Amino acid sequence: MISNKMADLVAGSSLIRAMFEEGKRLSKIHGIENVYDYSLGNPNVEPPEAIKIAISEILSEEAPGMIHGYMNNSGYEDVRQDIAEYTNKINGTNVSKDHVVMTCGAAGGLNITFKTLLNPGDEILVFAPYFGEYRNYASNFDAKLVVVPPDTSTFQPNLELLPEYINEKTKIVIVNSPNNPSGVVYSEKTIIDMAKVLKDKEKEYGHSIFLLSDEPYREIVYDDIKVPYLLNYYSNTIVGYSYSKSLSLPGERIGYLVVHPEIEDLNQVMSSLNVANRILGFVNAPSLFQRVVAKTLDARVDINVYKKNRDILYNHIREVGFEALKPEGAFYLFMKTPIEDDVKFCADAKQFNLLLVPGTAFGCSGYVRLSYCISYERIVNSLPALKKLWDLYK
């Protein structure tokens, strides 16, 4: 009775639901503290104190009608200008409020970008492993998601294969770095080489190919690794950002897009993003939190919590025998499964109360994702279970 598309999507999402239910079932039997749920990308570090302070200040200093009212569908002009200036300061760009759209998280930003750029049948390229939700966003606009196979030696985008995956229908290439699920940061060389391929292909096909950088994990990086800012490498670029992870505000749905000042048809693109925000039903990014993030541009959650988790988990699984690249950012570890069938591996893991997500969900079989945004103590307690899981295949 529901729409055909949704019937498929509901069936698909029932797998996630099934895992969630499995977690609840195991918790009932073994106690919640004895279930090691590595399946959810839900930040466990508290938002910085600056958020609470900012909200209190805004409530006491500004008129309620101003705080909670309508504004331009692209967001408050002063907030957009603050974000533009901060971006310029940190990344050496040259953008203004006219290149910024406040969005309902990165998810909202990606959807208004798709609505702006895509005709039905257009193709979106992603590099495996990739965040599975892109497939659903593509389906919203009847676009086709095309997956470039992984380079499992580095988990950098597979640029050797890239050219053959581009055709006259390719409209958008999505880059997600620090990457969910691999934890890899795409290097500057990767970005330069990728930009070169895309520029060549733009010439070959005589139309623009847009680079869409999905960066909710930009600030979640370790060991002083630099994340290249894509606006500095390719002009047909849109960067989507979210405060969900850097400020642990995933429920508040606040983020933004930055559009390259020299993108093709800048004015049309900005007008369209504005209108798309309205007609897709977002209308505007939540107003109080627009003002909050403008007041807390330098604030961050305590990254060391995630780093400590990464270190103990990574060191342990390597010691035990698993193969994995050391995550450089985000809060995910992407581990090679000792058997080919990653779905079976995840099923096997449940006997040790370990909840993992198969790499197949990210277009990369033979791997599993561990989200280590859980308590350090829980990770410590899970280590023997991970050892037992390895021993199962010896």
Residue 250 as a binder of a second copy (CB under 8 A): the answer is yes
Residue 23 as a binder of a second copy (CB under 8 A): the answer is no
- Return the CA Rg of the chain: 21
Residue 283 as a binder of a second copy (CB under 8 A): the answer is yes
Q: Which of 145, 172, 258, 269 binds a second copy (CB under 8 A)?
A: 269
Smallest gap from residue 43 Cβ to a second copy (A): 7
Smallest gap from residue 98 Cβ to a second copy (A): 15
**Distance (Å) of CA 372 to CA 5, 311, 314:** 33, 10, 10
Which one of 66-74, 217-225, 321-329, 352-360 is the stretch in contact with a second copy (CB under 8 A)? 66-74
Which one of 113-121, 195-203, 352-360, 377-385 is the stretch in contact with a second copy (CB under 8 A)? 113-121
Residue 235 as a binder of a second copy (CB under 8 A): the answer is no
Which one of 102-110, 192-200, 305-313, 329-337 is the stretch in contact with a second copy (CB under 8 A)? 102-110
Query: 218 or 253, CB closer to a second copy?
Result: 253
Q: Are 217 and 310 in contact (CB under 8 A)?
A: no
Residue 154 as a binder of a second copy (CB under 8 A): the answer is no
**Distance (Å) of CA 189 to CA 156, 185, 192, 384:** 10, 11, 5, 39
Which one of 31-39, 54-62, 93-101, 332-340 is the stretch in contact with a second copy (CB under 8 A)? 54-62
Q: Which of 261, 286, 338, 366 binds a second copy (CB under 8 A)?
A: 286
Query: 159 or 280, CB closer to a second copy?
Result: 280
Residue 4 as a binder of a second copy (CB under 8 A): the answer is yes
Q: Which of 25, 31, 56, 323 binds a second copy (CB under 8 A)?
A: 56
CA 232 to chain centre: 20
Angle, alpha carbons 305-330-288 (nearest 5°)? 85
Please state the φ and ψ torsions of residue 318, each to the nearest 5 degrees: -70, -40
Q: Where in the chain does DSSP place strands (E)?
A: 36-37, 100-103, 123-127, 144-148, 170-175, 210-214, 237-242, 255-259, 332-336, 354-355, 357-358, 367-371
Q: Which of 96, 119, 315, 375 binds a second copy (CB under 8 A)?
A: 119
Q: Which has the closest alpha carbon to 84: 103, 73, 68, 97?
A: 97
Q: Are 216 and 178 in contact (CB under 8 A)?
A: no
Interface positions, 322-381, toward a second copy (CB under 8 A): none
Interface positions, 179-208, toward a second copy (CB under 8 A): 207-208
Q: Are 154 and 128 in contact (CB under 8 A)?
A: no
Q: Are 284 and 71 in contact (CB under 8 A)?
A: yes
Query: 276 or 335, CB closer to a second copy?
Result: 276
Q: Which of 27, 34, 136, 232 binds a second copy (CB under 8 A)?
A: 136
